[in-house]
Structure 1
Amino acid sequence: MFTATLITLSLISLTIPSSSSDHQPQSTTDVCIIGSSLAHFLRKYSPTTAQIRMFERHPVVGGRMATVTIAGETFEAGASILHPKNYHALNFTHMLNLKVKGPSASESSFSLGIWDGQKFLFKTIDSDSKNQIVQYFISLANSIRMLFRYGVSLLKMNNFVEVTVDNFLKYYESEESRPIFSNVEDMLKWADLYNLTTHTLEEELVGLKFSPLLIQELITVITRINYGQSVRISGLAGAVSLAGSGGDLWSVEGGNWQMAAGLINQSDVTLHLQEEISSITNVGGFYELKSTNGNSYTCQITVVATPLDELTTQFTPEISIPERKLQHTYATFVRGLLNPAYFGLNSVSDLPELVGTIESSELPFTCISVLKEHNADDFTYKLFSRQSLTDALLDQIFSIRNETIRINWGAYPHYQAPEEFAPFMLDDMYLYYVNAFENAASTMETSAVAAENMARLILSRLAGQQPLGSYGLKSSTSDSNLQHPEL
C-alpha cells in the first residue's frame, strides 16, 4: 500500500489580521510551504490568499510518491496504490486530467503464497490461461480454499474494513455540516475512529472472535506488506492496511507523484526546489525561516507538513511533541530470476507472484512481488524488508540478478496502541503541524484529509473564529493557469 508524503517540510505564511500588520517586517512572505496538498486547499477556500512560498529539499516534488525505471518500464517505488473511495485523490486526478490506472487482468488474479521461512503455509491456485471463464473459476476456487482455511472470520474481516471505511467517509461531508478540528483526537472521535487507536489490531480482531490462524497468517501478511509491521499496530492503522488489500485499487498512469506536481502547478506558489529549512524562529509574532542554502525568509504563518521524527530543523522556542519512531521500509527492485531452491521448490513456475511472510525475526524480507515478466527467464521484482538486503543474501534469493535498485524510505510511523498524538498547533501563535494526523494512519488520502482540515483551521483562526465548528468558508474550484513546467 505504502502511503503518505516523503520527509519534506511545508511552511505556510498567511496574512495575519490587520491588528498585527503594523509590526510586520517589510520582507514577510504570505505563505511558505514545503511539500503538501495544503496549498491547494488554501487556494480553494481562500482564492485571494496572497503569496505562497513552497520549499522542497529534494530535486523533485512528490515525497513518498516516487517511481523507478527498469528496462524502460516505470514502477511505483513508494506510495503505490489508492482505494476506490479515496475521493480527494480521485478529485485531484480528474481535475489535473491524469489517467487512472486500474489493475491489469494478471494483477487482479495474481497468485499468493504465505512463507514461514521454511515452507509455504498456504498457496493459491495459479493458471497461465487467458480465458476469462477459466480465470473466474480459478478465482472462485481460491476464495473457497481461503474460506475453508480461515473460516467465517474471512467474511468478518471484510465487514470490519467496511465499517471503518464508512466512518472515514464522514470527512467528505460538506463544509457546512463538518466541523473544523483543532486536534487529532477530536477529529477521530467525530468520525467514530478514535477507539481504534487505543487498542492494537490484534486486540480488536481477537475481541471480534477472529480465527487465530487468519490473524497469524493472512492479516499479518497484509500488515507486513502495507506498513512493514505486525498485527500489534494500532487498530485504525490496521484497518486502513486491510482496506489496501481490497479490490478496485488504482494508481495514476505514469506515477502518483504527478498529483503532487499538478496541485503545486495549479496553486500559484513560488517553488524552491532543493532548499531545506534548517531553523524556524518566532521573532515577535512572525517566523524567521533559515535554509541550508543560506537564505532567510519571514513568514506570518508556518505549517510543518513533514514528519518531525527525523527532521533536523531547529525550533526557537523549542516545541514539545510525543516521541515517535518512523518505520523504515527498504524497497529493493531486482531484474533477474528468483531461485526456486531458496524456497524449497524445483521450478520458478511453482513460485507465487506474491510471496507474503508471517511475523518472524528469522525472515529477512516482508514480501516479494512480481512487477513484470519480460520473458521466462527475465522478471522485475520488488522486495520490502525492514533492513537493507545485502548482495550476498540477494544472490541466495535470486539465481540471476542483472539489475538492483535500493531505496530506504522513512515510510510511516511505527504504530502502537494506545496512540499519542502531537498537536495540530505547535505553539499559541501560527505554527502548525499537518503530520500530527499521521499517527492515526499514513496514506496519501489521510494526508489530504488532514491538509484539508488544516487549511480550514488556519483560515478560521485568521478570521477570529473558533475551530470545532463549521463557518461557511468561501470555496472556489476555478483552476489557475499551470505554472512550473519543470515539474
Structure 2
Amino acid sequence: MEFAVSHLQTYRGKYWGCSDTHGHERSRLDQLNFLPLLLLCTMCVTGAQGDAAPPERIAVVGAGIGGSAVAHFLQQQFGTQVQIDVYEPGSIGGRLATLTVNNQHYESGSASIHSLNLHMQDFVKLLGLKHRREVAGKTAIFNGERLVLEETDWYLLNLFRLWWHYGISFLRLQMWVEEIMEKFMRIYKYQAHGHAFSSVEELLHSLGGERFINMSHRSVAESLLEVGVTQRFIDEVIAAVIRASYGQPLTVPAFVGVMSLAGAQGNMWAVEGGNKLVCRGLLKLTKASVIHARVTGIALHSTEGKTLYKLRHESDSGHGSDIYDMVIIATPLHQGGSNISFEDFEPPAKEFPGTYHHMVTSVVHGYLNSSYFGFPEPKLFPFTSILATDNPDLFFNSVENICPINVSVGFRRKQPQEAAVWKILSQRPLDRQQLKTLFRSYYSVQVTDWAAYPHYGSAPKEVPPIILHDNLYYLSGIEWAASSMEMSAVAAKNVALLAFNRWFQHQEKIDQKDLMHKLKMEL
C-alpha cells in the first residue's frame, strides 16, 4: 500500500495545484487524467496482495534503532494484522542509552543526529517528540602539547583561521562531503517509490556507482588526498574527528569517514528526553510484542511445503522456542556480537568475520583541569569540547561538557570553574592517574564499555549479505559500510521493502539498474 501512496503523492504534486515549466497551472483535464491512475494503483495493490497471504508472524532480533525501525516499516508494508515479536535481552534502544548523574539524565550512547537524516526526522514527527534545545559551545583540537585549532564565537574568524592554517583544504573537504551526501540522499526517493536492494553493494552502487563501492574499500585519508586536502589538515583535523566519532585511525573506509565528517560540519540535533525514546515510541506505535529474551539459535522448520523458522531463546524464566514465517536479525552477528547458531540450513549459514571496536564512555561529574590544555586559570577556559589528534601519548579521543537530555528554558552550561558533567571517550577505561590528569577533583565516574562500531581494520573483503535464507534477513551488516543511527534506519527500510517485494514477488522493485534515470522518466 505504501508504494501506491507514494505514487499518488508524486502525481498529486505534479498535476494538482502545481505549475508547469512556464508557470501556468495544469488544466482541469490533466487533473481528471489522474483518476484512472488512482484506480489503477488501487487495483495493482489489491491484486498483488491478493495473490498471496501476508506472513502471520515475524520475529525481529534486537530492539535498537535498527530493530525498532524495521518493526515499524514491516507493519507499514504488511499491515497491522501481522504479529511482530521483538526479542531483546537488554534495554530497548541498544546503543541509544542514558545514565543518571546528580538526579539528571544524560546520553551515554549515540548522542547526535544530522539534520539530513530524514528517517530519524520522520520518526520524531510521527511520534510527537521534540528536538532538544541547542546549547551553544565551542570546540578545540588538542595534539597532546597544545591546542592546534580553536573555535571562536565569530563565523568569519573561524573561516579565516582555517584558511590561515590549512589553505583551502576545508573548502575541498566541504565540497567532497556535500557531493557524496547529495548522492546518498537518493536513497529516500528510491525507498519512497518502494524500491529495495538485495545486498549492501547493490544499494551503494545505485547511489554512487563504482565510486561508492570503492569508497567502502579505500581509506578516508587516501580519498581526501586525491581531492586536494593537505596531509596537515588530515592529520590535525580529520584524524581528530574520526577518533571522536569511531575511535579509529585514518585507515577507516572513506564512506565511513564521510558520515563522520558530515556530522562535524554542524546541523546536529538530539531528541528531547533522550534518543532512545525513538525506539520505545516505534515499538509502542507498532504494538510489537517485546520479549525480554536472548535468541540462541535459528533452525529451519519446514512443514507442508512451507518454509518456517524456529527461534530458540532463553531468559530468566527459562528456555523456549517459537515458529515464525519471517525473521529479521537486527543485532551484530560478528565475533563478540550475538552468538546465534544456525541449524539445518543447506547450504550452511556463513560465518561472519570481523570484530566490533570497543569504545569506553566515562561520564565524570567534576572540575576539569584546564591547565592540562594550557589554561592555568579555569574561568578563562572557553571550550565545551576537546578533540584529540592521533597521538599515541594521548589516552582519550574526546572530552565534552554534556547537557542533560531534558534542557529547560532557563538552562545554562556550568562555568569553567564549576563542577560539570563531562563525557570522555577513550579506547580503554581511564585509570586513577589519567582521571587526575584531566580533573582537579571529581564526585563520580560512570563507565560504559560499548562494542560500539565495526572494527574497520578487521573488515571482511565483502560486506555481509542481507538475505541469509528465503525469509531470513540480516540488517546490521550495513554497519560495515558505515555505522550511524540513520544508516540503521535506512537498512531497516530496505529490509522491510525487500521482504515485502520478495514475499509478493515484486521483482521489478528489487535491484533495478539506472534507477535514478527511471524515476526521473516516471516523473
TM range (shorter): 0.7 to 0.9
- 1:217 to partner: Cα distance: 0.6
Q: Is residue 464 of structure 2 the alignment partner of residue 422 of structure 1?
A: yes
Q: Is residue 301 of structure 2 the alignment partner of residue 283 of structure 1?
A: yes
Higher relative CO (CA 8 A, sep ≥ 6), structure 1 or 2? Answer: 1
The question of whether the paired residues in 1 share the 8 Å contact of 2:356 and 2:453 is answered with yes
Name the CA shift for 1:378/1:418 in 2 (closer, same or farther; >3 Å). same
1:449-471 Cα distance to aligned partner (Å, 9 max, x none): 1110100111111112332249x
The question of whether the paired residues in 2 share the 8 Å contact of 1:200 and 1:418 is answered with no
Distance in 2, Cα, partners of 1:422 & 1:234: 16
Query: What is the letter of the counterpart of residue 215 of structure 2?
Result: L
Select the residue among 151, 158, 169 that pairs with 1:153. Answer: 169
Select the residue among 43, 66, 75 that pairs with 2:75. Answer: 43
In the alignment, structure 1 segments of 5+ residues that lack a partner are 1-14, 22-27, 126-134, 471-487
Q: Is residue 141 of structure 2 the alignment partner of residue 114 of structure 1?
A: yes
SS in 2 for 1:253: coil
Distance in 1, Cα, partners of 2:234 & 2:394: 18
- 1:350 to partner: Cα distance: 4.7
The question of whether the paired residues in 2 share the 8 Å contact of 1:321 and 1:423 is answered with no
Q: Is residue 418 of structure 2 the alignment partner of residue 353 of structure 1?
A: no
Q: Percent identity?
A: 28
Name the stretch that deviates more: 232-241 or 64-73: 64-73
Distance in 1, Cα, partners of 2:298 & 2:449: 27
Structure 2 counterparts to residues 219-258 of structure 1, below 5 A = 219-258=238-277
Q: Is residue 97 of structure 2 the alignment partner of residue 79 of structure 1?
A: no
1:246-279 Cα distance to aligned partner (Å, 9 max, x none): 2221110010101111100111211113x11111
The question of whether the paired residues in 1 share the 8 Å contact of 2:365 and 2:444 is answered with yes
- 1:173 to partner: Cα distance: 0.4
Query: What is the letter of the counterpart of residue 387 of structure 1?
Result: R
The question of whether the paired residues in 1 share the 8 Å contact of 2:191 and 2:494 is answered with no
- 1:18 to partner: Cα distance: 6.6
In the alignment, structure 2 segments of 5+ residues that lack a partner are 1-48, 404-412, 514-523
Structure 2 counterparts to residues 107-186 of structure 1, below 5 A = 107=137, 110=138, 112-125=139-152, 135=153, 138-173=154-189, 175=191, 177=193, 179-186=195-202
Q: TM-score, normalised by structure 2?
A: 0.78
Q: Is residue 62 of structure 2 the alignment partner of residue 34 of structure 1?
A: yes
Query: What is the letter of the counterpart of residue 371 of structure 1?
Result: I
Q: Is residue 179 of structure 2 the alignment partner of residue 190 of structure 1?
A: no
Q: Equivalent residue for 2:451?
A: 410
Name the CA shift for 1:221/1:449 in 2 (closer, same or farther; >3 Å). same
What is the aligned residue count?
431
Q: Equivalent residue for 1:268?
A: 287
Q: Equivalent residue for 1:95?
A: 126
1:362-390 Cα distance to aligned partner (Å, 9 max, x none): 21110111125445331111100111112
- 1:164 to partner: Cα distance: 1.3
Name the CA shift for 1:441/1:120 in 2 (closer, same or farther; >3 Å). same
Q: TM-score, normalised by structure 1?
A: 0.83
SS in 2 for 1:295: strand
Select the residue among 320, 324, 334 that pairs with 2:354. Answer: 324
Distance in 1, Cα, partners of 2:452 & 2:134: 23
Name the stretch that deviates more: 42-51 or 197-206: 42-51
The question of whether the paired residues in 2 share the 8 Å contact of 1:217 and 1:358 is answered with yes
